A and B are shown apart, each in its own frame.
Chain A
Amino acid sequence: MWINMGPQHPMTHGLWNLRVKIEGEIVKEIDPEMGFLHRGIEKISEDRHYNEVITLMDRTCYVAGIAWEHLYIQAAEQALHVTPPARALWIRVLCEEMQRIASHVMWYAAFVQDLGLMSPFLYGMRDRDLLLDHFQSFTGGRLTYEYMRVGGVRNDLPPGTTDRMRKTLDWLMDRFVEYDRLCMGSEIFRKRCDDLGVLKANDCIAYGVTGPMLRSAGVRRDLRKDRPYAIYDQVDFDMAIADSADVTGRYLVRMEEMRQSVRILRQVVDWLDKHPGPVMAPNLPRWLGAPYAPVGREGYLLKRNYPKGVGLSAIEEPHGEANAYVVNEGGEHPYRVKFRSPVYVNLSAAHKYLVGYHVADIPPIMGSVDVCVGEVDR
Chain B
Amino acid sequence: MGTDGGTGRMTSEEISGRLKEKLPEAVLAFEELPGTAGRVRFRAESALEVFRVVRSDLGYDHLSMVGGIDWVEEREVIYLVWSDLRRNYLLLSTRIAARDAHIESATPVWPSANWHEREAWEMVDIRFDHHPDLRHLLMPDGYAFHPLLRSFKLHEPEELEVKVRRV
Q: Which residues does A use to contact B, with CB under 8 Å?
A: 34-35, 38, 40, 42-44, 47, 74, 77-78, 81, 83-84, 89, 205-210, 219, 221, 226-230, 233, 310, 312-314, 321, 323, 325, 327, 335-336, 338-340, 344-345, 348-349, 377-378
Apart from A227-B89, A325-B67, A336-B69: 18 A-B pairs, beta carbons within 8 A = A34-B138, A42-B148, A43-B154, A83-B2, A205-B62, A208-B110, A219-B84, A233-B6, A310-B33, A321-B64, A321-B82, A323-B64, A325-B78, A327-B69, A338-B69, A344-B115, A345-B115, A348-B112
Supposing A35-B139, A227-B87, A338-B67 touch, asked if A207 and B111 sit within 8 A by C-beta, the answer is yes
Q: Whole-angstrom distance from the CB of A309 to the nearest CB of chain B?
A: 9
Supposing A78-B34, A205-B84, A312-B35 touch, asked if A47 and B1 sit within 8 A by C-beta, the answer is no
CB within 8 A of B147: which of A43, A207, A229, A325? A43
Question: Taking the complex as formed, is B16 at the interface, i.e. its CB lies under 8 A from any CB of chain A?
Answer: no
B64 to A340, Cβ gap below 8 A? yes
Question: Taking the complex as formed, is B91 at the interface, i.e. its CB lies under 8 A from any CB of chain A?
Answer: yes
* Interface-centre pick from A44, A229, A321, A336 (highest chain B CB count, 10 A): A336
Which residues of B sit under 8 angstroms from A77, Cβ to Cβ? 1, 3
CB within 8 A of B140: which of A35, A89, A208, A228? A35
A43 to B139, Cβ gap below 8 A? no
From A38, which residue of chain B is reached at the shortest CB distance? B138
* B residues contacting the other copy or chain, number (CB 8 A): 42
* Cα separation A219 to B85 with both chains bound (whole Å): 12
Q: List 9 interface pairs A-B (beta carbons < 8 Å), by A numbering.
A: A205-B84, A206-B110, A219-B84, A228-B5, A312-B35, A314-B35, A325-B65, A340-B65, A344-B115
B112 to A230, Cβ gap below 8 A? no
Q: Whole-angstrom distance from the CB of B44 to the nearest CB of chain A?
A: 18
B89 to A312, Cβ gap below 8 A? yes
A206 to B3, Cβ gap below 8 A? no
Q: Is the interface of B mostly helix, strand, loop or mixed?
A: loop
CB within 8 A of A226: which of B5, B70, B87, B112? B87
- Which B10-49 residues have a C-beta within 8 angstroms of A? 33-36
* Cα separation A253 to B53 with both chains bound (whole Å): 34
* Cα separation A339 to B7 with both chains bound (whole Å): 21
Contact with A along B54-68 (1 / 0, CB 8 A): 000000011111010
Which residues of A sit under 8 angstroms from B115, Cβ to Cβ? 344-345, 348
Question: Taking the complex as formed, is B88 at the interface, i.e. its CB lies under 8 A from any CB of chain A?
Answer: yes
Which residues of A sit under 8 angstroms from B137, Cβ to Cβ? 34-35
Q: Whole-angstrom distance from the CB of B72 to the nearest CB of chain A?
A: 11
From A231, which residue of chain B is reached at the shortest CB distance? B3
* Cα separation A38 to B82 with both chains bound (whole Å): 27
Question: Taking the complex as formed, is B4 at the interface, i.e. its CB lies under 8 A from any CB of chain A?
Answer: yes
* Cα separation A81 to B2 with both chains bound (whole Å): 10
Q: Whole-angstrom distance from the CB of B150 to the nearest CB of chain A?
A: 8
- Which B92-144 residues have a C-beta within 8 angstroms of A? 110-112, 114-115, 123, 136-140
From A228, which residue of chain B is reached at the shortest CB distance? B6
Which residues of B sit under 8 angstroms from A78, Cβ to Cβ? 1, 3-4, 34-35
A44 to B154, Cβ gap below 8 A? yes
From A352, which residue of chain B is reached at the shortest CB distance? B111
CB within 8 A of B138: which of A219, A221, A325, A377? A377
Q: Whole-angstrom distance from the CB of B126 to the nearest CB of chain A?
A: 13
Q: Whole-angstrom distance from the CB of B138 to the nearest CB of chain A?
A: 4
Which residues of A sit under 8 angstroms from B2, Cβ to Cβ? 83
From A335, which residue of chain B is reached at the shortest CB distance? B69
Q: Whole-angstrom distance from the CB of A345 to the nearest CB of chain B?
A: 6
* Cα separation A226 to B89 with both chains bound (whole Å): 11
Which residues of B sit under 8 angstroms from A348, Cβ to Cβ? 112, 114-115
* Cα separation A35 to B137 with both chains bound (whole Å): 6
Which residues of B sit under 8 angstroms from A323, Cβ to Cβ? 64-65, 80
B3 to A312, Cβ gap below 8 A? no
From A74, which residue of chain B is reached at the shortest CB distance? B3
Which residues of B sit under 8 angstroms from A229, Cβ to Cβ? 3-4, 6
B69 to A312, Cβ gap below 8 A? no
Q: Whole-angstrom distance from the CB of B37 to the nearest CB of chain A?
A: 11
Q: Whole-angstrom distance from the CB of B91 to the nearest CB of chain A?
A: 7
* Interface-centre pick from B7, B87, B138, B152 (highest chain A CB count, 10 A): B138
Which residues of A sit under 8 angstroms from B34, Cβ to Cβ? 78
A349 to B112, Cβ gap below 8 A? yes
A230 to B3, Cβ gap below 8 A? yes
B112 to A206, Cβ gap below 8 A? yes
* Cα separation A339 to B2 with both chains bound (whole Å): 21
* Cα separation A310 to B147 with both chains bound (whole Å): 22
From A349, which residue of chain B is reached at the shortest CB distance? B112
* Cα separation A221 to B34 with both chains bound (whole Å): 21
Which residues of A sit under 8 angstroms from B61, Cβ to Cβ? 205-206
B112 to A207, Cβ gap below 8 A? yes
* Cα separation A132 to B35 with both chains bound (whole Å): 32
Which residues of B sit under 8 angstroms from A42, Cβ to Cβ? 123, 148
A43 to B148, Cβ gap below 8 A? yes
* Cα separation A228 to B78 with both chains bound (whole Å): 23
